Amino acid sequence: MEKADAVVIGAGIMGLSAGYWLAQRGAKVIVLDKGRVAWEASGRATGFLSLRGEQPLEAPLAAAAETLWSTLDERLGYPTEWLPGGRLWVALEPDRLAELRDICPQWQAAGIPVQLLDGAGARAIAPCLSEQTLGGLHTTRGGHANPQRASQAFAWAFRDSGGAIREQTPALGITVAGGKVRAVQTPNGSISTPVVINCAGPQVGLIAAMVGVTVPLAPVRLEAMVTVPLPRLFDVAMVGHGLSLRQTRRGNIHFNGGPHEWVDVDLTGEPAKPGTPVIRNIARRLAELFPSLANTPVLRSWSGVLEVTPDQTCIIERLAAPDGMIIATASGHGFGLAPSIGQAICDLALDGRSQVPIDGLGLDRFAKLDPGWRALRRWTAGSYNT
């Protein structure tokens, strides 16, 4: 039987990052994916890194990720299109502005420099913003990168470090004996390993169920779009008017948001990712936010499926039972955190504990979760726009 020090399930950016850091420490790692590298959420993400001021449990991971992002191109040897342009939340309506005022102290309490701006202040950072802009919340920290290129950079660097990526190779089962993980079964045979790292995105719950562990997740499909390339307009990763958006290094405006459909996934198939006519409404919001860009052509739209946890916070844990099983999901905001989450996973796999604090991110917080939580929230497959 083939042997590895660790098997990673999921060749998204988080699994590839974990594989990369493990390979750096000399571990023999195999990354499995039912499809292709970064073919699902990682290749379809917005590409943001946020400092997670609104979620102090994740703030240490975010701070560590920010440090890593600034050195990643050199370290990996491949470009990620990282742009440390900061973050800007803008409000076009009084209710939204009030929310920004409410959230500001949370960020300050987390020790992240943020500034409340008026409309003119926000437009000074992004001059294409509508004159209706009432204000904004700005931090020079955080930024954005190209999700596809950054994921592939990790894949190539992992490969260069001796790692193996097996595409179109789903994990079909996990062998446990004596309370320990022993092997992962694939269509091409079993791989003997003492460590299984579950970074399977929306499939994390299904993989965990193979060893009898419940991970509460709800997969969701949502849509994104890009315009043609434009001259440089702003560097910040922006949230506002119901959209998340950034201007890519190439110059395209990459934007997403809006109504989304809750879905189910399975272990081996590629989830359907149909688009919907909602792209017209999404386009309208961008034109309302940036009226001077109303004549800018839209080039394409796409859908992606990602997973959300009940409290929209990461789950990162090395399980006590079975030993050797590590679970990691970032509830749909894992892209920016992936460099440091990968390191945390590497630490958990080799040392049993993470150097970056991950306290409070374990599964025990869901001990009292109502098993019917998805239905209670109308987050079950087919529900829409909740």
Residues 326-385 binding other proteins (CB under 8 A) are 332-333, 360, 365-366, 368-370, 373, 376-377, 381-382, 384-385
Among 203, 227, 247, 343, interactor with other proteins by CB under 8 A? 227
CB of 161 to other proteins, least distance (A): 12
Among 276, 329, 340, 354, interactor with other proteins by CB under 8 A? 276
Which of the residues 136 through 165 are near other proteins (CB under 8 A)?
148-149, 152, 156, 159-160, 165
Work out whether 128 is an interface residue with other proteins (CB under 8 A): no
CB of 178 to other proteins, least distance (A): 32
Window of 21-29, 170-178, 194-202, 290-298 that interacts with other proteins by CB under 8 A: 290-298
Work out whether 247 is an interface residue with other proteins (CB under 8 A): no
CB 160 within 8 A of CB 77: yes
> Of 75, 6, 80, whose CA–CA distance to 47 is shortest?
80
- Number of chain residues interacting with other proteins (CB under 8 A): 96
Window of 16-24, 76-84, 111-119, 339-347 that interacts with other proteins by CB under 8 A: 76-84
Q: How far apart are CA 258 and CA 204, in angstroms?
A: 25
Among 40, 261, 317, 347, interactor with other proteins by CB under 8 A? 261
Work out whether 69 is an interface residue with other proteins (CB under 8 A): no
Decide: residue 61, CB within 10 A, 0-12 exposed, 13-18 middle, 19+ buried. buried
Q: How far apart are CA 160 and CA 227, in angstroms?
A: 34
Among 175, 193, 203, 256, interactor with other proteins by CB under 8 A? 256
Among 22, 171, 203, 221, interactor with other proteins by CB under 8 A? 221
Whose Cβ is closer to other proteins: residue 69's or residue 181's?
69
Rg (CA), the chain: 21
Question: Quick one: tokens of 1?
Answer: 């039987």
- Render 350-371 in DSSP notation, one character per residue: HTSS-SS--TT-SGGGGTT--T
Draw the binding track, 83-122, toward other proteins (x: CB under 8 A; -: no contact).
----------------x---x-------------------
Work out whether 208 is an interface residue with other proteins (CB under 8 A): no
Window of 2-10, 173-181, 281-289, 348-356 that interacts with other proteins by CB under 8 A: 281-289
Window of 22-30, 185-193, 203-211, 250-258 that interacts with other proteins by CB under 8 A: 250-258
> Of 291, 221, 294, whose CA–CA distance to 256 is shortest?
221
Whose Cβ is closer to other proteins: residue 17's or residue 55's?
55
Non-local CB neighbours of 283 within 8 Å, separated by 6+ positions: 225, 298
- Render 123-189 in DSSP notation, one character per residue: HHHSTTS-TT--EEEEESS-EE--HHHHHHHHHHHHHHTT-EEETT----EEEEETTEEEEEEETTE
Tell me, what amino acid is at 113? P
Tell me, what amino acid is at 17? S
Taking the alpha carbons of 133, 134, 140, 145 in that order, is the dihedral positive or negative?
A: negative
Which of the residues 3 through 42 are near other proteins (CB under 8 A)?
35-37
CB of 92 to other proteins, least distance (A): 12
> Of 48, 55, 39, 92, whose CA–CA distance to 256 is shortest?
48
CB of 351 to other proteins, least distance (A): 26
Whose Cβ is closer to other proteins: residue 83's or residue 181's?
83
